[in-house]
Amino acid sequence: MKNFTALLTALALASAIPAELASAASIEITTTIQASLDKTIAGAPQTQANKISSLYSEFLTLQKQEQDWDAKINTLHSRNKDTSAELGKQAKEIDSAKLAKLEEEVTRTRARHQPLLSQYTALNKQIEAARLLNSKSLNAMLRIQAAAMRIPVQLARFDISAKVKASQAAKDKASKATKKIRSSLNDIDPINVQIKAKQGAIRTIQASLSPIWTAFKQAAKKEDTNAVQSSLTSMISLSRQMNAEKESIFKLETKISDALAGIKAQMP
């Protein structure tokens, strides 16, 4: 058998979106251990030798599958993380250009009508002053001027009001869209909780696998066929559990990916 090195993986908890799988302490079959294992197999009865060889081959296959799951999970998780961050950023900037343009129109409209409105305000103050002075002729003249300005002033105020309402309506619409996107992103949190639970299960499996791996190495050095076979059987069982948990994590990350694609499609 060729030398084989398989890395175990560890999963770290994350706050919002789970962290990528990371390599932990490695399961490494060195040339010394390999030589001891070969001697153990060679010294075993043919039936047991075949069994150990079969178990060992299965264990290596499971380790390779585990590495493949890690690669797929990390790739998908990284993409989901980037997509989620981008959607969060876009949610904050919904219709930002349109809102800025509308706000600019409000400012420009107010500035355009301000001289007229200021003049009208000043004229009404003059009318009040003339009333206090009991100047009927001046009061009458000023009121004529005010009457002439009344319609243009009303139109100016209506113009400003329309621009303000349009701007506010756009802001309200963008705010609702932003809240909807953020709410949809928050809906993904329960899936992340499930992933964290799977990560915890994997750490438990890894903790159980470590002493068995140590026992396997010792048994191989001692050429203890029964212990080697027993250790391999246990490691295979744990590796299957490990791969089952990682497959579940991949499916959950896929679920997140589908959810993010749906959110992206809703983005205005």
Contact 105, 163 (CB under 8 A): yes
Residue 130: inside a domain: yes
Residue 194: inside a domain: yes
- 162: CB partners within 8 A, 6+ apart: none
- Do residues 156 and 110 share a domain? yes
SS3 (DSSP) at 7: strand
Residue 190: inside a domain: yes
- Do residues 80 and 100 share a domain? no
Last residue of a domain, one of 120, 150, 177: 177
- Do residues 80 and 189 share a domain? yes
pLDDT tens for 193-241 read 999 999 999 999 999 999 999 999 999 999 999 999 999 999 999 999 9
pLDDT tens for 14-70 read 333 344 443 333 577 788 888 889 999 999 999 999 999 999 999 999 999 999 999
Which of 190, 198, 194, 189 is CA-nearest to residue 11? Answer: 198
- Do residues 195 and 131 share a domain? no
Separation between Cα atoms, residue 259 and residue 188, nearest integer Å: 8
- Do residues 192 and 87 share a domain? yes
- Do residues 87 and 195 share a domain? yes
SS3 (DSSP) at 14: coil
- Do residues 142 and 170 share a domain? yes
Range of the domain at 243: 29-93+185-266
Last residue of a domain, one of 149, 177, 205: 177
Last residue of a domain, one of 177, 196, 214: 177
Residue 16: inside a domain: no
Contact 217, 233 (CB under 8 A): no
Kindly tell me if the per-residue pLDDT of 245 is higher than 70.
yes
Kindly tell me if the per-residue pLDDT of 133 is higher than 50.
yes
